[in-house]
Amino acid sequence: MKVLLLRFSSIGDIVLTTPVIRCLKQQLGAEVHFLTKAGFATLLEPNPYLDKVYAFRKEVTEVLPDLRNERYDWIIDLHHNLRSLRVKLVLGRPSRSFDKLNLRKWLLVRFGINRLPDLHIVDRYLATVRHLGVENDGKGLDYFIPTSEEVNLSTLAPNLTPGKFVVLVTGANHATKQLPVGKIIEVCRQLWEPVVLLGGKQEAELGRLVAEQAGAHVLNCCGTLSLHQAASVVRQARKVITHDTGLMHVAAAFRKDIISIWGNTVPEFGMYPYYPEGVNRNKTIQVSGLSCRPCSKIGFRKCPRGHFRCMEILDPNIICREVK
């Protein structure tokens, strides 16, 4: 059997597809291919359960001729948008699509009516291959780091040793998912052990500001590491403080203790840290009872109500207690 998986973005969503990849390979012995955007191909290429990764830069038309030649038995659409629909129509092969539950999410955002199933998105991904005889193996997420990308902590700072520092993931794709910088600084000031700040190039200035004001025990690595290198640092941390973002799921793949901080989004969307069966090492930090939460299933550049209470009234002391 030859199967093509479709998931074009982003980091966290792709990490959450890894149980589907593994189960298809281990339970069916399938030849598993994956189509994604070029910017995320390096995330998938080290995965030993994948036989081939296809990637496009701008349009799926770049790879459609090659995909047509593969003659897949099944296309499993884990993105379910117009672009993935185009792939399925052009290839004309049997397919199953992931249900995004957009109407139910809209009801929760717009009216506060929760009709969402109490089911993680990983289990909903796996439902798309159940007809093939695939079952959840209960092993959680996968993340594979190339040997060349493993980080020797001493090259970052002489006082960093495995299991004796905390990672704080500074950023998120949307500002309304992110703690205000003053609260990040306050959290870092209260921690007695080394703190490594992780984030992309867009968080470089934020990381510099936090490191300058929070103390010498804080190391800013925002914008200086590749995704795999950041994952290597996460793997070696004692605990991970993170917003609802991609590195949260990377941390879950390594079975790390996570303090997850939630702003405008809510765990009820089914995107909380996913661990192996019987394991839960996540502590959710959020302001419950706000009538304006969730205000979006994704996020905004700024609070649509203007007050940003979901983060502004969140107590940094609670985060620090969980870390300690």
In which band, very low, low, confident or very high, does the pLDDT at 207 lie, cut at 50, 70 and 90?
very high
Q: Are residues 235 and 292 in the same domain?
A: yes
Residues 302 and 247 in one domain: yes
Tell me the C-alpha distance between 44 and 52, whole Å: 9
If asked whether residues 127 and 225 sit together in one domain, one would say no
* Model confidence pLDDT, tens digit, residues 36-72: 999 999 999 999 999 999 999 999 999 999 999 999 9
124 & 230 share domain:
no
Residue 142, domain member (yes or no): no
Pairing of strands 282-285, 218-220: unpaired
Does residue 228 lie in a domain region? yes
- Specify whether 172 is located in the same domain as 303: yes
Question: Looking at residue 173, what is its pLDDT?
Answer: 86
Give SS3 for 247: helix
Q: Tell me which residue range forms the domain holding 309.
A: 149-323
Q: Above 90 in pLDDT, residue 35?
A: yes
Question: What does the alpha-carbon distance between residue 138 and residue 243 come to, in Å, rounded to a whole number?
Answer: 25
**Predicted local distance difference test score (pLDDT) of residue 221:** 98
Task: Say if residue 169 is in the same domain as residue 306.
Answer: yes
Q: Do residues 233 and 299 both lie within one domain?
A: yes
The closest of 246, 218, 216 to 234, measured between CA atoms, is: 246
Burial label for 125, CB within 10 Å (0-12, 13-18, 19+), is buried
Residues 234-285: pLDDT tens digits? 999 999 999 999 999 999 999 999 999 999 999 999 999 999 999 999 999 9
Number of domains in the chain: 2
Domain shared by 99 and 228, yes or no: no
Same domain, 124 and 198: no
- Please say if the pLDDT value at position 146 is more than 90: yes
Q: Does residue 111 sit in the same domain as residue 171?
A: no
Burial class (CB in 10 A: 0-12, 13-18, 19+), 142: middle
The answer to whether residue 137 sits within a structural domain is no
Same domain, 98 and 161: no
Which of 132, 161, 193 represents a domain boundary (last residue)?
132
Task: Examine the domain organization and report whether 299 and 162 are in the same domain.
Answer: yes
* Nearest one of 54, 10, 56 to 32, comparing CA atoms: 54
Contact yes or no for 299/264 (Cβ under 8 A):
yes
How far out from the chain centre does Cα 323 lie?
21
